[in-house]
Amino acid sequence: MASRDRRPGLRRVEQIMGTAISLDLADDLPPATLHELAEQTFGWLREVDARFSTYRDDSEVCRFDRGELPLAEASADLRAVLERCADLWRATDGFFDVYATGRLDPSGYVKGWSAQVASDRLVEAGAPNHCLNAGGDVRVRGRSATGEAWRIGVRHPWDPMATCLVLAGTDLAVATSGVYERGHHVVDPRQGTPARGLRSVTVVGPDLGLADAYATAAVAMGPAGTTWLAHLPDHHHATITDHAHLSHSPSLPVPPRPPLAPGDLAGAVGDMRRTPDLSGQ
């Protein structure tokens, strides 16, 4: 389908979880249906923010952390997230640790998980072509409004207006964890200090919650995170060191570089001091 034959679709952006979350619905559905789907999506994300925010004293996760809320009385979502985070702690040899900062903070899983749930619900509701970008954690399904595969830009670390590589696909979960916006905020749980060595990690896989957690764990590992990611089944990665060296798995879905059509750039993640030539890598 040529770009001039764009489906109408709908685009909407809201500030939730302390970041901009954008939704691009690319199905040719009635406007009222698209608006209802968007409202349901953002309603769910607002619900997650209210329940899991570590910045709201009255959030469920904060009340649980202070011992005011017994686990037996917690919501099914909180119990499921805590169980999954415990699984991830074991799977990452303790580097994904929701208590690494000394208090309960499952944010390294929750943002990706909530966007994945929202995307799954959109598919079930009859909107299989969409992009949901939750502050750089991106879930794309189907095709963009132009009929092409979605293209996801990996952000240049020292130039926020540029990209260092572009990913493309019709069913991708792309998560990043980096220090270019919030500084060295990921803690190495073994040292109890901010992790250093990897400036940014991008993980691509089938599930955004897992990709989000794996990216966080790799940053916590420091330079060893790149080797760990290379042995992670069913996932692809790109890492950028503090010294601006980029490496990525050979199977990373990097397409040829034709000019981008307006609106085809689905999201921005990643980091790099200067844009590399990735051809042949």
Q: How far apart are CA 92 and CA 149, in angstroms?
A: 32
- Report residue 73 as tokens: 């009385």
SS3 category, 244: coil
Which domains are delineated in the chain? 7-269 (3.10.520.10)
Instruction: Determine whether the annotation assigns residue 171 to a binding site.
Output: no
Q: How confident is the model at residue 181 (pLDDT cuts 50, 70, 90)?
A: low
- In Å, how far are 50, 124, 169, 237 from 269, measured between CA atoms? 25, 27, 15, 12
Instruction: Determine whether the annotation assigns residue 216 to a binding site.
Output: yes
Cβ count near 139 (within 10 Å): 29
Span 238-259, pLDDT tens digits: 998 988 888 899 988 887 654 4
pLDDT for the residue numbered 137:
94
Cβ(51)–Cβ(60) below 8 Å: yes
Q: How confident is the model at residue 182 (pLDDT cuts 50, 70, 90)?
A: low
In this predicted model, which residue has the larger pLDDT, 72 or 263?
Answer: 72
Average pLDDT of the chain, as a whole number? 87
Q: Are strands 137-141 and 236-241 parallel, antiparallel or unpaired?
A: unpaired
For the segment 130-145, the average pLDDT, to the nearest whole number, is 96
Q: How confident is the model at residue 138 (pLDDT cuts 50, 70, 90)?
A: very high
Span 14-70, pLDDT tens digits: 999 999 999 999 999 999 999 999 999 999 999 999 999 999 999 999 999 999 999
Q: How far apart are CA 90 and CA 86, in angstroms?
A: 7
Cβ count near 143 (within 10 Å): 19
Q: How far apart are CA 139 and CA 205, in angstroms?
A: 10
Q: How confident is the model at residue 5 (pLDDT cuts 50, 70, 90)?
A: low
Span 188-236, pLDDT tens digits: 888 888 889 998 899 999 999 999 999 999 999 999 999 999 999 999 9
Instruction: Determine whether the annotation assigns residue 108 to a binding site.
Output: yes
In this predicted model, which residue has the larger pLDDT, 61 or 160?
Answer: 61
Q: Are strands 265-269 and 150-155 parallel, antiparallel or unpaired?
A: parallel
